A = this chain, B = another copy of it.
Amino acid sequence: MTASGKPKALFFDVFGTLVDWRTSIAREAELILKPLGHSLDWLAFADAWRGEYQPAMDEIRTGRMAFCKLDVLHRRNLERILPRFDVAGLPEDTMRHLNLAWHRLDAWPDSPPGLARLKRKFRIAPVSNGNISLMVALARRNHFPWDAILGSEIAGDFKPKPRVYLAACEALDLPPGECMMVAAHSSDLASAASNGLMTGHIARPNEHGPGKGETGPKQSVDVFGDNLEDLAGKLGA
């Protein structure tokens, strides 16, 4: 912990940090598309969909496109990747249901108990690029006891743009130095730190497949843990 002491609020990255998007998306795609006769590499499909995530947000970060909910970008990305897997002509209802697979992601096992512990000592909120309705769906599914839903939709932009971190601090009336960004992605934490926030890293070694995730921070952080319960212990919660 830095000399500035403990944070008053913890902000959380969600995709990859709190939920296992990869196996969840693979499962949902299989549940929906297999009965329709499609057979494909479901994990590769999840990776391909996620692969379009950053480029899509770049359109908005750079100002080439007006801000929209991540659900809208997910839909555009879905339409882009389906042909690569030889899937075409899905009914609109199916497309919608498939697109909302991102609302049905499962938490890593330590996320719900870790958040419950941390909420006793800190204000907790997601600061994710996901939209409010998506965050609500994941919270209801996984029992994330958020104090508020912050992040891209209240900021009108996507991480790692400074506005997203700063809007979250402002919403809770806190200076950035009293807020800690928690993520399994060092790049997210680097941006948070450059905007004055404290940083906490948790390892998600299997985010992108077995052994394909960050096992530790790539730069100096204020605190790091093997998982959210470990981090909670280190923060005295």
Residues of A within 8 A of B (CB): 71, 123, 131-133, 135-136, 139-140, 145-150, 153-154, 171-173
Contact = CB atoms under 8 A, between A and B. Distances in A.
Contacts of A153: 154, 171
By CB atoms of chain B within 10 A, which of A71, A132, A140, A172 has the most?
A: A132
A171 B132 contact: yes
Most buried by B among A71, A133, A139: A133
Copies of this chain, whole number: 2
Q: Which 3 A-B pairs have the closest CB atoms?
A: A148-B149, A132-B171, A133-B173
Contacts of A172: 132-133, 136
A147 B132 CA distance: 10
Contacts of A145: 145
B132 A140 contact: no
Nearest to A119: B140
Nearest to A150: B132
A150 B147 CA distance: 12
Contact of A133 (B132, B139, B140, B171): B171
Contacts of A140: 123, 147
Contacts of A147: 136, 139-140, 149
Contacts of A131: 171
25 contacts: A71-B173, A123-B136, A123-B140, A132-B148, A132-B150, A132-B171, A132-B172, A133-B171, A133-B172, A133-B173, A135-B148, A136-B147, A136-B148, A136-B172, A140-B147, A145-B145, A146-B146, A146-B148, A147-B149, A148-B148, A148-B149, A149-B149, A153-B154, A153-B171, A154-B154
Contacts of A71: 173
Contacts of A149: 147-149
A75 to B, nearest CB: 12
A171 B152 CA distance: 12
A211 to B, nearest CB: 36
